[in-house]
């Protein structure tokens, strides 16, 4: 009898405890379809509360139009490591790509870029290419320089900063000479050659080496990225004294974009050099979305949200992705770079801290 009485007491206790555990969930969700769903919801709430208490920031994975999770993106928020406390930033810059056909969204992005550039005293802007759809420009007098660039990125803070320009596939049809020559006409347009590098100094010391490639450049009718530009890049990297090394190329190494996606040949031919010389970041466009990816200690940013958009899926290297118009903001000192992904409304969608 005692054993039977004890078993009944234990059973009643379990029922009462289960009811107490699930009652807040029933009250919060209304009428969950099953106890399994309720328990899962309670577990999700506990996980979210624990992440918030640990100071973790959550990824944004929703479509800007429908509010639904993007195809292939995780449906649950993914926590990232707490940001380091940085006493000050030594250098700030912005990155935008694929802006060469201005839409209303492009103007909104440009305005927010100006606001952030002013707020953070940005030193320069990087364009990841496809500056003039659909065929580029054939002359420095082409009206597209005015309508697509000067009249769009007109915020005062964007006028006083230099723009380091990369060339994309849609910049090639009419040749790239006009875009190079425009550097002599515009103080902010910086494109001294189809591929080039620039060093940024702080207090007389090199802080950042920026290397810009022209993925689609041809010599004597043949693409020269792998035969000329990458050997040049390796030589420049070997002599770099800057603690930060960042590469710009229109074509992504890694991307979840459904139109272009990752490049196996770049993975084979370029990435070993990046790893050898400890390049920390690669900036790309080509796929019209905002993505942050990472592999083997290298962060890959796809900042192609300047005009119309492409769908994308999450891949193994994906840390964040959004089919939204926008740009990225980069702030760095001697130990860390902090990257903010920002949309056309000025909202910060995702933040990632990258150690040197």
- Asked if residue 51 belongs to a domain, the reply is no
- The pLDDT tens digits for 229-271 are 999 999 999 999 999 999 999 999 999 999 999 999 999 999 9
pLDDT above 70 (res 86): no
> Residues, the chain, total?
356
- Asked if residue 332 belongs to a domain, the reply is yes
- Paired sense of beta strands 196-202 and 205-212, if any: antiparallel
pLDDT above 90 (res 14): no
49 CB-near residues (< 8 Å, 6+ apart): none
Spatial separation of the C-alpha atoms in residues 121 and 160, rounded to whole Å = 10
Cα distance between the two ends of the chain: 70
- Asked if residue 110 belongs to a domain, the reply is yes
User: What is the residue-wise DSSP string for 259-271?
Assistant: SS---HHHHHHTH
- Asked if residue 164 belongs to a domain, the reply is yes
- The pLDDT tens digits for 20-71 are 433 333 333 333 333 333 333 333 323 233 233 223 232 333 333 223 333 4
279 CB-near residues (< 8 Å, 6+ apart): 237, 245, 246, 247, 273, 298
Residue 158 neighbours by CB distance under 10 Å: 21
- Paired sense of beta strands 79-80 and 298-303, if any: unpaired
Q: Which CATH number goes with the domain that contains 124? A: 3.60.21.10
| Segment 65-78 mean pLDDT | 34
162 near 85, Cβ under 8 Å?
no
167 near 176, Cβ under 8 Å?
yes
Predicted confidence at residue 50, as pLDDT, reads 29
CA torsion, points 10, 11, 14, 16, in degrees to nearest 10? -110
User: What is the residue-wise DSSP string for 145-183?
Assistant: IIIIIITTS--HHHHSSEEEE---GGGSTT-SHHHHHGG
29: three-class secondary structure by DSSP:
helix
Domain that holds residue 199: 91-355
178 CB-near residues (< 8 Å, 6+ apart): 136, 137, 138, 139, 140, 142
312 near 255, Cβ under 8 Å?
yes
- Asked if residue 14 belongs to a domain, the reply is no
Cis check: omega of the bond before 209, within 30 degrees of 0: no
Looking at the structure of the chain, the number of domains it has is 1
Predicted confidence at residue 88, as pLDDT, reads 84
321 near 290, Cβ under 8 Å?
yes
114 near 350, Cβ under 8 Å?
no
84 band by pLDDT with thresholds 50, 70 and 90? low
- The pLDDT tens digits for 125-145 are 999 999 999 999 999 999 999
| Segment 334-347 mean pLDDT | 97
Spatial separation of the C-alpha atoms in residues 339 and 331, rounded to whole Å = 7
- Please provide the average confidence, as pLDDT, over all residues in the chain: 83
Please report which helix (H) or strand (E) contains residue 37, including its range. helix 35-53
* pTM for the model: 0.78
304 near 287, Cβ under 8 Å?
yes
252 near 218, Cβ under 8 Å?
no
| Segment 339-350 mean pLDDT | 98
pLDDT above 80 (res 279): yes
- Asked if residue 25 belongs to a domain, the reply is no
- The pLDDT tens digits for 161-183 are 999 999 999 999 999 999 999 99
Percentage of the chain lying above the pLDDT 90 cut: 75
Predicted confidence at residue 2, as pLDDT, reads 44
Query: Which spans in 197-296 are helix H?
Result: 230-238, 264-269, 271-276
Predicted confidence at residue 87, as pLDDT, reads 54
- Asked if residue 227 belongs to a domain, the reply is yes
Predicted confidence at residue 256, as pLDDT, reads 97
- Asked if residue 106 belongs to a domain, the reply is yes
| Segment 70-88 mean pLDDT | 44
pLDDT above 70 (res 19): no
């Amino acid at each position: 009898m005692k054993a039977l009485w004890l078993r009944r007491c234990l059973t009643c206790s379990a029922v009462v405890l289960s009811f107490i555990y699930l009652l807040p969930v029933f009250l919060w969700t209304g009428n969950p379809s099953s106890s399994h769903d309720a328990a899962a919801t309670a577990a999700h709430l506990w996980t979210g509360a624990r992440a918030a208490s640990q100071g973790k920031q959550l990824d944004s994975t929703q479509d800007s139009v429908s509010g639904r999770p993007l195809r292939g993106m995780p449906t649950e928020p993914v926590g990232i490591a707490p940001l380091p406390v940085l006493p000050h930033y030594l250098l700030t810059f912005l990155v935008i790509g694929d802006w060469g056909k201005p839409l209303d969204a492009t103007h909104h992005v440009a305005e927010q870029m100006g606001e952030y550039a002013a707020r953070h005293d940005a030193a320069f802007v990087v364009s990841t290419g496809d500056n003039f759809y659909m065929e580029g420009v054939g002359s420095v007098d082409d009206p597209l320089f005015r309508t697509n660039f000067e009249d769009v990125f007109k915020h005062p803070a964007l006028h006083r900063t230099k723009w380091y320009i990369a060339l994309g596939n849609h910049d090639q049809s009419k040749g790239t000479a006009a875009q190079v020559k425009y550097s002599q006409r515009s103080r902010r347009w910086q494109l001294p050659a189809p591929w080039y590098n620039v060093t940024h100094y702080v207090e007389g010391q090199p802080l950042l080496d920026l290397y810009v490639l022209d993925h689609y450049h041809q010599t004597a009718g043949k693409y020269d990225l792998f035969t000329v530009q990458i050997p040049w890049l390796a030589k420049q990297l070997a002599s770099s004294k800057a603690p930060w090394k960042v590469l710009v190329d229109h074509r992504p190494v890694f991307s979840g974009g459904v139109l272009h996606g990752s490049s196996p040949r770049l993975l084979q031919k370029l990435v070993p050099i990046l790893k050898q010389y400890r390049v920390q970041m690669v900036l790309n466009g080509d796929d019209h979305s905002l993505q942050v990816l990472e592999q083997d200690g290298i962060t890959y940013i796809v900042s192609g949200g300047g005009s119309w958009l492409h769908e994308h899926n999450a891949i193994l290297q994906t840390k964040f992705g959004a089919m939204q118009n926008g740009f990225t903001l980069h702030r760095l000192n001697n130990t860390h770079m902090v990257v903010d992904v920002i949309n056309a409304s000025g909202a910060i969608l995702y933040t990632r801290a990258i150690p040197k």
